[in-house]
Amino acid sequence: MRPRFRPSSLVPAGFVVDHLDVGTDRISLVVRSGSATATCPDCRTSSRRIQSRYQRRAADLPLGGRRVELQVMVRRFWCDAAACGRKIFAERFSEDVLPTFARRTSRLEQIVHHLGLALGGRPGAGLAQRLMLPV
């Protein structure tokens, strides 16, 4: 039996890969949430009505000697709850995958954090550079 490669196995849980571009020194992955709905951060009501989309970039763990950049397609949803003051919200991802406003995935952030703790600022940054981790 021939093993089947699934691009979504490369990215953090919950993301689906729409496009994969392998360059000489970087891999770009266009990803989106695999969920059809999102939860309003104010009233916790689930919505599936998409208002718009925008792109957010986040660095992920290097792969095969190449830096990995996720281009995350984020959806904005309408909140239909009558009592909710928020009309539109952007979908959020799990804190252990991609926190709000983060420029790195949580798994990359964790490694950078531990390098910093173990080696300190400059030596940690030097080793991160050699490991192709963006710092």
The residues of the shown chain that bind Zn ion, judged by CB under 5 A, are 40, 42-43, 79, 81, 84, 86
CB of 17 or CB of 81, closer to Zn ion: 81
Residues 88 and 33: their CA atoms lie apart, in Å, by 18
Residues with Cβ within 8 Å of 115's Cβ and at least 6 positions away in sequence, in order, are: 124, 127, 128, 133
The nearest distance, CB 91 to Zn ion, in angstroms, is 13
The nearest distance, CB 101 to Zn ion, in angstroms, is 20
CB of 58 or CB of 79, closer to Zn ion: 79
Residues 85 and 22: their CA atoms lie apart, in Å, by 43
Q: List the beta strands (DSSP E) in 79-120.
A: 88-90
The nearest distance, CB 125 to Zn ion, in angstroms, is 41
Closest CA to 57 of 85, 91, 26, 98: 98
CB of 81 or CB of 125, closer to Zn ion: 81
Residues 25 and 116: their CA atoms lie apart, in Å, by 24
CB of 30 or CB of 81, closer to Zn ion: 81
The nearest distance, CB 9 to Zn ion, in angstroms, is 34
